[in-house]
Amino acid sequence: MHRSSTCTRRDFVRFGALGAASLAGTSLGACRLFEPKTSSGDSPAAHLVSRPGAATGARGPLTPGLEPLDVDTSQEVLLYVPTGYTPDRPAPLAVALHGAGQSARTGITPLMAQADAVGLIVVAPQSVGSTWDFIRGTYGPDVANMDKALARVFRDANVDPARIALTGFSDGASYALSLGLTNGDLFTRLVAFSPCILSPAARRGKPSIFVSHGTRDGVLPIDSCSRRFVPSLRADGYAVTYREFDGPHMVPSAIAAEAAAFIMRA
């Protein structure tokens, strides 16, 4: 029998390197991965400063579809512009974060499939390391890259400030929740598909939250993860929409569609 304990972010990365098949048989399932309090003080490195606002010049049309975002970052950033986007009407925006060992292209896929139907702009950065910075130790380069990407999107696109979402899957979901709570003065919606770490550097604002998790998740077991911190978030006054589904570590298309509708909510 494994003893109950709290996993550090370093433990989380170590376990993650074992792969999904090995994880199911490790003590990860008995660890309390979420950290419901803030980390060691409000870190300036975790604060995003870019904001939507008036463009310096007239915004031109953006070409619908998927393409690399022309921005000076150390890693690739992808931008998806939905069919029907027009610069004279504010559009909702989602930042989509991939899981450990994945790519920006993987991260953008779940919401990109829903984007045309709801008119959602999606931007997907690539993490500097194999996973997001705070999971590897501290906030820093991934926040800086995201800030640059957002500044470019806010410059080029007419973004609705009332519907800006930070979303992610697995490690990306943990990062979306933690960085999103830290920057709740920017993000009005947080979407976490199968998260397992909650460790904001601070708490600003009160973004609405959507969490989903598979009951047969062998990578990040639901009992050690979402079933623990969703009640904690609700107790802290956050409005949380929580969906469990019969499945493994994944984002079902029906869950992605519900998340897109959640982002679009007035």
User: How far apart, in whole angstroms, are the C-alpha atoms of residue 235 and residue 229?
Assistant: 10
Q: Using alpha carbons, select from 242, 170, 162, 172 the residue that is nearest to residue 205.
A: 162
**Distance of alpha carbon 70 from its chain centroid, rounded?**
21
Phi/psi at 245 (5° precision): -135, 155
**pLDDT on residue 102:** 97
Measured between its terminal Cα atoms, the distance across the chain in Å is 48
**pLDDT on residue 53:** 82
**pLDDT on residue 38:** 43
Task: Give residue 258's identity as a one-letter amino acid code.
Answer: E
3-state SS class at 213? strand
**pLDDT on residue 25:** 32
Per-residue pLDDT of the chain in tens (266 residues, 90 and over written 9): 333 333 444 444 444 433 333 333 323 333 334 444 444 456 789 999 999 985 555 577 799 999 999 999 989 999 999 999 999 999 999 999 999 999 999 999 999 999 999 999 999 999 999 999 999 889 999 999 999 999 999 999 999 999 999 999 999 999 999 999 999 999 999 999 999 999 999 999 999 999 999 999 999 999 999 999 999 999 999 999 999 999 999 999 999 999 999 999 97
Is the Cβ–Cβ distance between 78 and 67 less than 8 Å? Answer: yes
Task: Give residue 143's identity as a one-letter amino acid code.
Answer: V
**pLDDT on residue 44:** 85
Is the Cβ–Cβ distance between 184 and 207 less than 8 Å? Answer: yes
> In order of start, what are the domains of the chain with their CATH numbers?
62-264 (3.40.50.1820)
What predicted TM-score, i.e. pTM, was given to this entire model? 0.86
User: How far apart, in whole angstroms, are the C-alpha atoms of residue 258 and residue 249?
Assistant: 17
Q: How many CB atoms lie within 10 A of CB 216?
A: 12
